[in-house]
Amino acid sequence: MKKVLKWGAIIFASLIVVIIAALLIIPMFVDANKYIPELEKFVSKTTNRPFSVADDAKLSLFPWATLAFSDLKLGNPSGFQENEFASIKSFEIRVKLLPLLLSFFKEIEISRFILDQPRIVLVKNKNGNVNWEFSKETTQTPKDAKKPMGKPSATTLPIGALTVGDFSLKDGAVLWIDHSTDTRKEVSAINLTLKDAALDRPVQLAFSAQMDKQPLSIEGFVGPLAQGLEGGSVPLDLSVNAFKELSMQLKGNLNNPLASPAANIDLKVVEFSPRKLLAALEQPFPVATADPTALNRVALKAQVNASSKNVSLSSGLLDLDDSKLKFSMNASEFSRPKITFDLNLDEINLDRYLPPQPEKPATAKQPAQKAPTQKAGKTDYTPLRQLIMDGQLNIGKLTVSKAKINDIYLKVSARNGIINLDPLQLKMYQGGAAGKAALNVQQDVPKSNLDLNVNNIQINPLIKDVLQKDILEGATNAKLTLSMIGDDPASIKKSLNGEGTFVFNDGAIKGIDLAGMARNIKTAFGGEKVTERPKTDFTELAAPFSIKNGVVNTPQTSLKSPLLRIIAAGNADLVNETLDFRVEPKVVSTIKGQGDETQRSGIMVPVLVSGTFAAPKFRPDLKGAATQELEKKVLESKEVKKVLEKEELKPLEEKTKGVLKGILGQ
């Protein structure tokens, strides 16, 4: 037995000596450059592209298996201006051969892996063809190839150990050329270094590059990789710095990256300026804002958990200029998105982020002409029909169209193409509003509805903020129900239906004194100068209305004041922007406070309102005036005759037109 073992050891040692001798001798007699033409021919045939390598290849097998070559070039197919798709200035790899052979290629020790000046040129020509798509013949699966049956085997590492002494990618470049848009982008000076990398310890890495001549770098560590790749976790801690403006930190774990990739990352984006970032890249800012200093400060923190089936953001904090948003979000079932969110915003002025108002021309004002409408393509609402969503939004302070709103609470839900906002609550100008809304996109044309209740909102500061006009005072209460069909303004106007009531209490209409007009015709129509700004005080202004296919009808809008009662009835056509109203003022003989509804004798001069929203017209209703008891006295007075002849009606028309334009926002 001892002899057998002895001779076995001798034979094994002899084989090792023979193998080592062969590894030393073979490279001396084998010229690697002799096989370069065969290699070039094989690659060219496989890729259908020209391929070449310089004839200075080097090969050695012991103690390190070394392969080195230079000037590798892979060209483009015909039809492209650029000759090269990829090139490498030089390449060298050194692998320790004996451990590799003894472990049956399970243990790999790499001394050097150097890739010098690799370059890739990605091209899209004017016809839309791209050079990174290879021949279909080389990628198609043969028709008779059988698909593997049964469950796939568990993912495991093909190697048991890996160490890399020096891994370097030096001075690489990626060039993007789009001839169809005359666009050219380049990432240059790409360098990647790994030092003393191994599967059983963290891998230190350093990456740097120049993007549009601006620096980009990634530093940190990843690993250990040994157990994490097969079902565990791979720790990482990376710092990203870009363009001297953006700094980002990623810390966490990559879970089961080979079999079922997932990540659990703490993300932190240090405060930066998007405007300065794009300026550094010499790119125009993509949006124009009313406030040129908006979008100048952004910072972000969040816990990110992601997999192929689910993405969630928790403990999120976004700083945007002067606003802070706390958020959490979750998205799953991406084929039929299921989204939940909880957003809490302290304050925001949306007016800062809206497009700037166009400058008014200095020339004389010309009548507005409607631009020809262009029929837009159909909107595809399929994503909204598939959406499943539940979320809520809280906003402490909101400014929009200069209106100031507080304590907004909104709950959103979406199922089967129906999106509900219920409830919707807010506070503003010493009052509040509550309601709900819905958008139905189950059909090609969306349907919407709104129910809203307004309680005790002070209208004067609201109009001052929004319209910069001082035309109306009073506490506002309202109730309205609206429905509409369509997704463009014209369709919405034509299909608008609903009803409601607006009530203003203890207020005034500023800019016009209706009671004074009735008492003093000269003052009313410009015959006498008025030192104080006129106004009409009222105890109640109530406007019930209904809307049918875009036509607003009020059967009896009433104004009650101590010396005056006014009733208005008629239509406002939102589609054609026309007016058709009859206004009946009545002056009472005594003053009595709020709640006086007693019919009293007085003068009745009805006024007809017609024309358009932009140019309303006013004229007295002669037929209505003729039915009054004091018809003769009134019509015979010089002042009224002038009024009826329209000689002094223009001052009233201008005053009333101004008030009406203010209300309509013209």
pLDDT, position 160: 53
243, 119, 213: which is closest to 174 by C-alpha?
Answer: 119
Q: What's the length of the chain?
A: 666
Which is more confident, 223 or 632? 223
Indicate whether 641 pLDDT > 60. Answer: no
- Residue 1 in this model has a pLDDT that exceeds 70: no
pLDDT tens digits, 442-470: 998 999 999 999 999 999 999 999 988 88
**pLDDT bracket for residue 522 (50, 70, 90):** very low
Check whether 304 has a pLDDT greater than 90.
Answer: yes
Cα 558 to the center of its chain, rounded Å? 45
Is 607 a member of any domain?
yes
pLDDT of residue 39 exceeding 50: yes
Q: In this structure, what token pair is assigned to residue 459?
A: 């209208």
pLDDT confidence bin for 53, thresholds 50/70/90 = confident
pLDDT of residue 395: 97
In 3D space, the residue among 566, 651, 556 whose CA is nearest the CA of residue 607 turns out to be 566
159 to each of 62, 162, 224, how far by Cα in Å? 21, 7, 15
| Better-predicted residue by pLDDT, 345 or 656 | 345
**What are residue 35's phi and psi, to 5 degrees?**
-95, 0
- Work out the number of other CB atoms within 10 angstroms of the CB of residue 458: 16
* Paired tokens of 342: 């909880």
More confident residue, 592 or 493: 493
Q: Which two tokens stand for residue 401?
A: 């169209």
Q: Which of 198, 215, 249 is the last residue of a domain?
A: 198
Report CA torsion sign: 599, 602, 605, 609.
Answer: negative
Find, among 243, 241, 251, 343, the residue nearest to 283 by Cα: 243
Give the per-residue pLDDT at 18: 45
Determine the Cα–Cα distance for residues 285 and 432; give it in Å rounded to an integer: 38
Asked if residue 418 belongs to a domain, the reply is no
Q: What is the pLDDT of residue 476?
A: 92
Range of the domain at 189: 23-130+160-198
Separation of alpha carbons 158 and 571, rounded Å:
81
Per-residue CA distances from 587 to 420, 516, 519 (Å): 48, 10, 8
How far apart CA 131 and CA 174 sit, in angstroms, is 13
Percent of all residues in the chain with a pLDDT value above 70, rounded to a whole number: 71
Average pLDDT over residues 262-273: 94
Are 241 and 250 a contacting pair, CB within 8 Å?
Answer: no
On whether residue 228 sits in a domain, the answer given is no
Is there a contact between 405 and 355 (Cβ–Cβ < 8 Å)?
no
Angle formed at CA 160 by CA 65 and CA 13, multiple of 5 degrees: 55
Biggest CA–CA distance in the chain, Å, is 149
- CA dist 565 and 601 (Å) reads 11
What is the rounded average pLDDT for all residues in the chain?
Answer: 79
Torsion of CA 315, 316, 322, 323, to 10 degrees: -90
Q: Establish if 5 belongs to a structural domain.
A: no
The pLDDT, as a whole number, for residue 12 is 47
In this structure, is residue 221 part of a structural domain? Answer: no
Stronger pLDDT, 491 or 9, i.e. the higher one? 491
Tell whether 570 is covered by a domain: yes
CA distance 598 to 588: 9
Would residue 407 count as lying in a domain? no
Q: How confident is the model at residue 475 (pLDDT cuts 50, 70, 90)?
A: very high
What pLDDT, on the 0 to 100 scale, is given for residue 525? 46
| pLDDT at residue 349 is higher than 70 | yes
Q: Which of 53-67, 219-233, 247-261, 321-335 has the highest mean pLDDT?
A: 321-335
Which pLDDT score, from 0 to 100, does residue 345 have? 97
**Amino acid in position 92:** E
3-state secondary structure of 416: coil
- The pLDDT tens digits for 482-501 are 999 998 888 999 999 999 99
Cα 646 → chain centroid: 56
Percent of residues, the chain, with pLDDT higher than 90: 38
Q: Which residues of 153-185 are buried (b: 16+ CB within 10 A; e: fewer)?
A: eeeeeeeeebbbbebebbebbbbebbbeeeeee
Among the candidates 179, 198, 217, a domain finishes at: 198
| pLDDT band for position 606 (cuts 50, 70, 90) | confident
Q: What pLDDT does residue 647 have?
A: 47
* Least confident residue range of 234-238, 277-281, 390-394: 277-281
Residue linked to tokens 């909107």: 379
3-state secondary structure 445-513: CCEEEEEEEEEEEEHHHHHHHHHCCCCEEEEEEEEEEEEEECCCHHHHHHHCEEEEEEEEEEEEEECCC
Per-residue pLDDT band for 471 (boundaries 50, 70, 90) equals confident
Residue holding tokens 């079932």?
333
Q: Which of 217-221, 332-336, 416-420 is the least confident region?
A: 332-336
- Residue labelled with tokens 């930190």: 249
Opening angle at CA 251, ends 281 and 220, nearest 5: 70
Query: For residue range 204-238, what is the model confidence (pLDDT) as tens digits?
Result: 889 999 987 889 999 998 877 766 566 678 889 99
Is-contact 203 223, C-beta < 8 A? Answer: yes
- Where would I find the beta strands (DSSP E) of 243-359? 246-255, 262-272, 298-307, 310-320, 323-332, 338-349
626-650 mean pLDDT: 51
Name the residue with higher pLDDT: 72 or 657.
72
pLDDT confidence of residue 255: 84
Mean pLDDT of 536-558: 92
Q: What is the per-residue DSSP string for 335-379?
A: TS-EEEEEEEEEEEEGGGGSPPPPPPPSSPP----PPPP-PPPPP
CA–CA gap between residue 485 and residue 474 (Å, rounded): 33
Q: Residue 529 domain-assigned?
A: yes
Helix (H, G, I), strand (E, B) or coil at 7: helix
Give the Cα separation of 352 and 64 in Å (integer). 66
In this prediction the pTM is 0.72
Q: Which pLDDT score, from 0 to 100, does residue 56 have?
A: 78
pLDDT on residue 618: 80
Q: Do 206 and 220 meet the contact criterion of CB atoms below 8 Å apart?
A: no
**Mean pLDDT score, 512-527:** 54
pLDDT of residue 588 exceeding 70, the answer is no
How far apart (Å, rounded) are the C-alpha atoms in residues 173 and 89? 12
Cβ(524)–Cβ(516) under 8 Å? yes
pLDDT, tens digit, 9 for 90 and up, residues 63-111: 667 778 889 899 988 888 888 899 999 988 877 665 655 555 566 677 7
Residue 136 has pLDDT above 60, yes or no: no
Residue 434, token pair as written in the block? 């509550």
Look at residues 198, 216, 247 and tell me which one is the last residue of a structural domain.
198
Buried b (16+ CB within 10 A) or exposed e, 368-378: eeeeeeeeeee
Q: Count how many domains the chain has.
A: 2
Is the predicted pLDDT of residue 524 greater than 60, yes or no? no
Helix (H, G, I), strand (E, B) or coil at 485: strand
Residue 24's φ and ψ, nearest 5 degrees, are: -80, -35
- Rounded to the nearest 10°, the torsion over CA 515, 517, 521, 526 is 150
Residues 6+ apart with CB under 8 A from 512: 534, 535, 536, 652, 655, 656, 659
pLDDT of residue 141: 46
Residue labelled with tokens 């090139």 = 87
In whole angstroms, what is the distance from residue 275 CA to residue 281 CA? 10
Least confident of 123-132, 283-292, 343-352, 511-520: 511-520
pLDDT at 208: 93
Give pLDDT, residue 99: 61
Lowest mean pLDDT among 108-117, 192-201, 510-519: 510-519
Least reliable range by pLDDT among 349-363, 537-551, 600-614: 600-614
Q: How many CA atoms lie within 13 A of 545 on its CB side?
A: 26
Distance CA 539, CA 563 (A): 11
Residues 6+ apart with CB under 8 A from 246: 240, 269, 270, 272, 277
What is the arithmetic mean of pLDDT over 350-374? 65
